[in-house]
Amino acid sequence: MSVGINIVGRDVTFTLGGSALVGVLSKGISFTNEMGDTTDDDSSGWKEFAAAPLLKSASFTVSGQLKNLEMVGAFFGASNIFEIIITYPEGSTITADFAMTSGPSLTHEANSNSTFEVSFESSGAVVWSAGS
C-alpha cells in the first residue's frame, strides 16, 4: 500500500522578491479557471464549456505576526509586482509574478501582538515544477 506524505504548513516556504517574509502564520494559494460557456440549443438544457479556459489566475494570501514593516514599505514602493516562489518539502515549486492587490492590512490590539494580512494575484503565467 502506498502512503502519501504529510505536508505541515510551516514546511511550505515562500520568498517574496527573493527574501523570506518573517512572522508568517498562515499562507494559502488558490487557482482559478475562467471557462468559456459554449451552451447552445443542442445542449439539451445542460451547461457546456470549451475544453480550455479563457483565463487562468492564481491568488495568494499570507498573514502572521507583524515583526517588521517591510510589507508596508513594499506597498509604497515603485512597483507592487513581486516574484513569489512557493516551495514544498519534497522540492515542488510554484513560481510567478504576483501583484499586491490587498493590504497590507495591519491590526494592533492593546494586549496582543500586532498582525498583518496581505493578498496577491498572479500577473502572467504561473509555473509549476514537480519535486522528487
N-term to C-term CA, the chain: 19
What is the domain partition of the chain in residue ranges? 12-34+55-95+108-132
pTM of the predicted protein model: 0.81
How would DSSP label each residue in 34-79? EPPB---GGGTT---B-SS-SEEEEEEEEEEE---SHHHHHHTSS-
The answer to whether the beta carbons of residues 100 and 29 sit under 8 Å apart is: no
How would DSSP label each residue in 110-124? TTS--EEEEEEEE-S
Query: Residue 86 has which C-alpha cell?
Result: 512557493
| Per-residue pLDDT reduced to its tens digit, 70-128 | 888 888 988 899 999 999 998 999 999 999 999 889 999 999 999 999 999 999 999 99
Comparing 31-35, 52-56, 69-73, the range with the smallest average pLDDT is 69-73
